[in-house]
Structure formats: structure tokens, C-alpha cells
Amino acid sequence: MDSARGPRIDHRSTNGVGSSSWARSDVATAETARHLRTTMAEWLETQPVGDLRNDIVLAMYEAVANSVEHAYDGAEPGPVTVTATPDWSIGITADSARRALEVSGHAIAGTSAVLLLAVTTPMIDILSGLRRLRVPQACIDVAAVMYRFLFVLLSSVRTIRQSQTARLGYSSPRKSLHSAGLLTAAVLIKSWDRASRLEAGLAGREFGDAVSADPVDRQRSSPTFLVAVAAVLAAVVVLSLVGSRG
């Protein structure tokens, strides 16, 4: 690979088995990913990795391909750097640390938004909002039934687990693994059986009306709570914008 495409392989040897390290840095493109796969495979032929050679090359290629596809989405392709040493250590660069913080911030923001919706909005209000947004009634019915079945499944899991515990089903790691498998199978079978009976019952009643839910008393949120939520959301938006521009 010429100098315009990145640095050449480091040919210094410390153990007498080929190069002591291998590094490449180039623009994140599909051509670069293919070239890195070829050059790393050639370098690994001089390293005592045995049958792991193909696995290492595949893992590197998948990582670089993901960088090509997602790291610079909608922007000009930037650099991608791959470094390998005989001890197979993992390094962290300033760009990778910034990217990790950015992804973590987005994940925390999304999770916080979902948790905020879950702890402050009853399910009946969510379903009513979906109806006002003219979401297809079939989708709303499925969401309502799934919400109701969550508590049915949790009750079944709790009952079966208590029964297994009373029979010393979790007294050892081996028994715990076996009991967990039986618990999963039993819950799946019960879920399938309940769903089949529910479908048959609804079909017998010519089900076509919307799934209703018991109304709940609406309580207004305090102004202090609304201001705090708005401040938190504004801070998340500002941090996201600053991180994306940085």
C-alpha cells in the first residue's frame, strides 16, 4: 500500500517471528476494508495464531465495515485505524473515546425518555393518545393485549419459580440451570396456550370493538415537576448538539 493510502507495516521484530506489530490508517471506505483484510491476513501468516487466523481477520473486517457504514453516516468519510500486536492488546484513541461517550449519551437519553414516559403516563392515556393520532385500531388492540399479558406472564413466572424453589430446584448451579430451562419452557407453553384460548374466545364473540380499559383519575403535574423535566430535556438536547458538533 502506497504512502497516500496510509503508513506501511511495521517490520521491526522482537521475537524473531515476523513483524512485532501491524498498523494501518486510511480513509473509511469499502475498498479500505477489503485491503485491510488482505494485508492483515498476510501479516497473520507470520504470527503464532494457529487456527484463529481466519477468525481474527473476520472480526477485524466486520469492525472496519461497521465503521465504514455507521461511523461517518451522512458526512465525509474520515480515518479508520487498525492496530494489532502479538499480545493482542486493545487500545483506546481520543476519537474512539469521544465516539463511545456520544453513543452512551444517546443511549442514556433514549432510555431516560422511555422511563419518564413509563413512570408518568398510565397505559390508558397512551392508548388514548394513539387513537387521537389515528393509529390503526388493530395495532392499538395488540398493544393493549400485550400490556395485559405482561402481568399474567409475570404472575406465572413467580408461581412456577416459587414451586421450583420449594422443591430445592435452585440448590446448586446445575439444578439452577436445569430449573431455569424448565421455567422458560413452561412459561412459553402457558403463553401459547393462553394466546390460543384468547384468540378462540375473541373469534367466538366476533371481536371487532376496541379493547377498553378502566378509566383512571387524571392528576395534574405540579409546575415544579414540569419545569424540572423541561430543564433536563433541554440539557440533554444541548449536550447532544454539542457532542455532535464536537
Query: What was the pLDDT predicted at 5?
Result: 40
Domain ranges, ordered by start, for the chain: 3-91, 101-245
Block means of pLDDT (10 residues each) for the chain, length 246 residues?
A: 37 41 83 88 82 85 83 77 71 75 86 85 86 86 83 86 88 88 87 81 64 55 78 78 64
12: helix, strand or coil: coil
167: helix, strand or coil: coil
Q: Is 15 exposed, middle or buried (0-12, 13-18, 19+ CB in 10 A)?
A: exposed
Tell me the pLDDT tens digit for each residue of 165-185: 898 888 888 888 989 899 888
Best CA proximity match to 144, nearest among 222, 71, 212: 212
CB neighbour list of residue 152: distance below 8 Å, 6 or more residues apart: 194
Superfamily of domain 3-91: Histidine kinase-like ATPase, C-terminal domain (3.30.565.10)
**Do residues 185 and 164 touch, judged by C-beta distance below 8 A?**
no
Tell me the pLDDT tens digit for each residue of 60-97: 888 888 888 877 776 788 888 888 876 655 566 777 77
Residue 216 DSSP one-character state:
-
